[in-house]
Structure 1
């Protein structure tokens, strides 16, 4: 049995910054923020990227807590995986970075 531990503020900041360190993922967040929740196939068409590539990017964003997904059945019985942006706010200034660095679970020596 695996127990998922809560991430520290520093770990969460690193995950968020790593997730946003890609132009495709920035465009995904922007599209979801502007248009609201959307399902994978439609989002892939709107962004002009393949569904497998989109799934990889969405997984990274979801792992960082920036988006969430919900599987739903359409009227014709197809499974649609909808994604939407989780509300978030990040302050990056020297004090916030120092506090995040102090809370890292695996600090560098």
Structure 2
């Protein structure tokens, strides 16, 4: 099991996530928005790059995209890109093992 989790951190139980709704987590000091869409789990940065607002998890979800609730920007959950193709949100790899969701988020490094 430890090889399976190489670099992955426990996020939550699969059934704790509501379909097509976001939930906010802090993993390794990183603000993460997680979404369940059908049987898939997506994890992205919870910070909108437009005005650095930590509210992506509150966005409307449709067709594996999330709409920023403040600005209306649309991001793809699979790659984080804006709907038009530009880079948008960081995306974190997820896996589901025995009904548990894990995410790979590297610890935030300070640039002092």
TM-score computed with the length of structure 2 as normaliser = 0.26
More strand by share: 2
TM-score (norm 1): 0.27
Identify the structure with bigger relative contact order (alpha carbons < 8 Å, sequence gap 6+).
1
Query: For the pair shown, which has the larger CA radius of gyration, 1 or 2?
Result: 1
